[in-house]
Amino acid sequence: MNKVSFYLVTDTHYFERSLGAEGAAFENYTRCEQYFLRESSSIVSAVFDRIAQDQETDIIILPGDLSKNGEKESHKSFVKELYKLKEKGKKIFVLTAGHDYNEYSRAYKDDMRIDVEGTSFDELYEFYKDFGYSEAVAFHQRTHSYMAQITDGVRMLAINCDSFNNPKGTMDEELMAWSKVQLDKAKEDNCSVFAICHYPIIPGVPVFDLVGDAKIKDWRTVASFLADNGVELALTGHMHIQSINEFYSEKGNRLIDICTSCLVGSPAKYRKITVDDTSTLKVETIDVGDFGMDLGGLESQEYFDRQFRRAIINRVCDALRSGDGISKYFKKLGLSFVENGTFGNLSNLLLLKIDKELAKIRIIDFIGEVGIGIFKGDMPYVKGTAVYNAISSVLKRFSFVIKRVEPKLSKGGDKIDLEKMLLDTIGNNKGFSDNDAEFKLR
Ligand SMILES: [Fe+2]
Ligand SMILES: [Fe+2]
């Protein structure tokens, strides 16, 4: 691949603070929310200021979910931030996604959730035309996908798989055919191409393969299409996760998917990506850091993580509070165990031997740590660690359940090894980091 360097910032979920984000309704909403509304504009502004000062690269790429939920005032304010960056000499390329035009545009005041003016998908063109669309080599009107000349010898295929006309992670046949024409043209013009797409093309962690909305539809087909047409690198978002994954097509071509976290909620990272003149790809992960607000004495990372941990635990406990009949009874037991139990209690119940240090850990704390850890990438519980051994023993105890569930999960497709999937999710065995990594490209 030819030489190129850029910043990757995704899922900014910008919210115009003056719309209102306060009161009991807002506090209730944030119980289960990963990212911040009141703080998002300050975070975006601080990060953009830092990027503007870096003279090494003049390109910034944002692959979707620019606004919280399509509030028109949020888009207006966010675009102002983009123009400020542009005035400082930066070239900006965006994609929009489902959160930029959906019907849930809301603000919060006292105990009320207030509907505010949203933005239609068609209106997004006018907002973002100066950030990739109008200077594109080719523009796909139906989805706002485009091919752009990023720098000499390098083009970017921006695949909008989450537009009003092909929502929720779809790259349909027509969009694929259009992309093929653009990729062939790039080859003729001696340009390398990388792709951006809001949805991950490769599942961020193995279990996300079982979650419909966690990756693009028919992801193996899309990954093979890109890899076999000369695209070795894809930059994605949507899942708010730090993950890097490789996929090889049947023809033996590789696709690397770098999925990056939400900017305005834990893990709160962005990336600087460089391909040098030896085709070496370097991925550097950067913390959002200080954004000039009073965080009650906490460091920004602690502030982000505290909110996400709370959201994960509340979601798990809320799920266990729902249901009726016999399921309600078992869920109530589960809730009590999750809220009060330890690993020691669990091992006694299942007649398992576990590490003494692990026995003291509360289940609820562990759920929070694992949840947050998955999204930060580089999960540490690899084979041989006490946690791996404990989880592996628990899964073996429940193997009779797993064997019954696996055929249902595979839905007639490839056979699923759920135990391996779960263990590969809690420990990064890929041989490279999800955060700072280096690859030799073609
Ligand atoms: Fe998002
Ligand atoms: Fe999304």
Domains along the sequence of the chain with CATH: 4-293+435-440 (3.60.21.10), 322-361+381-426 (no CATH)
Angle at CA 302, nearest 5°, toward 300 and 303? Answer: 60
Question: Computed over its alpha carbons, how large is the radius of gyration of the chain?
Answer: 22
Question: For residue 221, how far is its CA from the centre of ligand 2 (angstroms)?
Answer: 21
Better-scored residue on pLDDT, 7 or 346: 7
The Cα–Cα gap between 197 and 206 comes to 19
For residue 328, what pLDDT band results from cuts at 50, 70 and 90?
confident
Ligand nearest the Cα atom of residue 375: 1
**109 pairs with which residues across the strands?**
112
For residue 412, what pLDDT band results from cuts at 50, 70 and 90?
low
Question: For residue 103, how far is its CA from the centre of ligand 2 (angstroms)?
Answer: 14
Expressed in angstroms, the distance from the first to the final Cα of the chain is: 6
The Cα–Cα gap between 337 and 189 comes to 62
| Residues 418 and 402 sit within 8 Å (Cβ to Cβ) | yes
Dihedrals φ, ψ of 109, to 5°? -145, 130
**275 pairs with which residues across the strands?**
4, 281
**330: pLDDT strictly greater than 70:** yes
How much is the pLDDT for 103? Answer: 86
Question: For residue 160, how far is its CA from the centre of ligand 2 (angstroms)?
Answer: 11
Question: Is the overall model pTM greater than 0.85, yes or no?
Answer: yes
Better-scored residue on pLDDT, 408 or 198: 198
Ligand nearest the Cα atom of residue 241: 1
**413: pLDDT strictly greater than 80:** no
Question: For residue 99, how far is its CA from the centre of ligand 2 (angstroms)?
Answer: 6
Which residue matches tokens 């599942």? Answer: 203
**327: pLDDT strictly greater than 90:** no
Question: For residue 333, how far is its CA from the centre of ligand 1 (angstroms)?
Answer: 34
Ligand nearest the Cα atom of residue 34: 1
Question: For residue 96, how far is its CA from the centre of ligand 2 (angstroms)?
Answer: 9
Question: For residue 63, how far is its CA from the centre of ligand 1 (angstroms)?
Answer: 10
The Cα–Cα gap between 431 and 237 comes to 22
Stated as kind and residue range, the H or E segment containing 195 is: strand 192-197
How much is the pLDDT for 322? Answer: 82
